[in-house]
Amino acid sequence: AQSVTQLDSQVPVFEEAPVELRCNYSSSVSVYLFWYVQYPNQGLQLLLKYLSGSTLVKGINGFEAEFNKSQTSFHLRKPSVHISDTAEYFCAAQVGAQKLVFGQGTRLTINP
């Protein structure tokens, strides 16, 4: 069974609109959860991570995510997107002591 599932392969939104990118994880993974962003023709960089503590995690570039244990979700949100947020976003979870599993990715497209 897929450990990390991103529910949308593509999300188109208009500039300055809010956006939510959905991620669900299986109970077999640890609750160490991450969101990474990949801008065109670049490697990945960390947006935010949840290891413990407050379930609302704030990251770079105005993004935040909420860890929801009962729904096994870790959705990423931004209240107002910009053209520069166009990228592919990956949810990831630590599995066991040393492995990292990524979701399939969500391509965010911002329309002017």
Residue 22 within binding range of another protein, rule CB under 8 A: no
Residue 60 within binding range of another protein, rule CB under 8 A: no
SS (H, E, C) 78-104: ECCCCHHHCEEEEEEEEECCCEEEECC
First to last CA, the chain: 38
| Span of 17-25, 61-69, 73-81, 101-109 interacting with another protein by CB under 8 A | 101-109
| Span of 11-19, 64-72, 74-82, 86-94 interacting with another protein by CB under 8 A | 86-94
Residue 32: partners with Cβ closer than 8 Å, 6 or more residues away = 49, 50, 51, 93, 94
The residues that touch another protein, with contacts defined as CB under 8 A, are 6, 9, 32, 36, 42-46, 49, 51, 90, 92, 94, 97-105
